[in-house]
Amino acid sequence: MNLAIRTALEAMMLALLASGPALAADEFTLYDLLAPESHQFAITYEVTQTREGAELFFNPIRPGSVVSKERVIARATGKDVPFEVVSGKDAKSSGLISDKTADDAQFIRVHLPGPVPKGGQTRLRIIKTYTDAASYFVKDGQLVFVRPLGIKRNVILLPRGWEIMECASPGIVSTDGDGRIRVSSLNDRDDQLPVKIVARRLP
């Protein structure tokens, strides 16, 4: 992500925070839609682990998505953090994941730089690419991104050369420094926000 995009996203999120109550765990997700025929989108997920004494953080891998290009960064230092992909069964043994989690679920298990201190936090940036033909595809010449989003703050960045035609949930439509269309949404629900974006290629 270039500096202009990052700066614009951070400014927008600060404005959202100033306009409403604080959001738990400081969660934010950017969906960078790649070439439509690839069915791939790059995800940048920012989150804060606040559980006292925690040495791990688990990020679920969405069922039906094939994950690649994973990377985890400590936001306080900019340094890479070790991780591995584990099953739901292994994740549950940590006590940080619900016992109702399926044994065959998948998680990115992140090893924090140290235990979270009392009253402290560990801020993470998790980067990964999903391949998911059911969520991101082209139909009748139109780009479609359809996916329920559970995180409170989200930005969907369209590929260059596409313009939005339909947005099935509330969102702020704008452009970044490279002229790409982005849709910013704030999920104020207690469940997942059903997001569907349809776009067409510019002449």
Residue type, 187: N
What are the start-end ranges of the E strands in the chain? 28-33, 40-49, 56-61, 66-74, 83-87, 106-111, 122-131, 136-139, 142-149, 153-157, 162-167, 172-175, 181-186, 193-201
Residue 45 in domain: no
Residue 89 belongs to some domain of the structure: yes
- Domain membership flag for residue 111: yes
Domain total of the chain: 2
The predicted model gives 153-164 an average pLDDT of: 96
Query: 92 in a domain, yes or no?
Result: yes
Instruction: Determine, yes or no, domain membership for 44.
Output: no
Query: How many CB atoms within 10 Å of residue 87?
Result: 16
Q: Do 58 and 108 share a domain, yes or no?
A: yes
The mean predicted confidence, pLDDT, of the chain is: 88
> How many Cα neighbours within 13 Å face the side chain of 112?
23
Do both 138 and 89 map to the same domain? no
Rounded to whole angstroms, how far apart are CA atoms 53 and 57? 11
Same structural domain, 165 and 137: yes
pLDDT digit string, tens, across residues 22-47: 333 579 999 999 999 999 999 999 99
- Best CA proximity match to 46, nearest among 31, 36, 35: 31
Report the C-alpha gap between 26 and 48 in whole angstroms: 6
pTM score, whole prediction? 0.85
Residues shown for the chain:
203
Domain range spanning residue 146?
Answer: 1-39+133-203
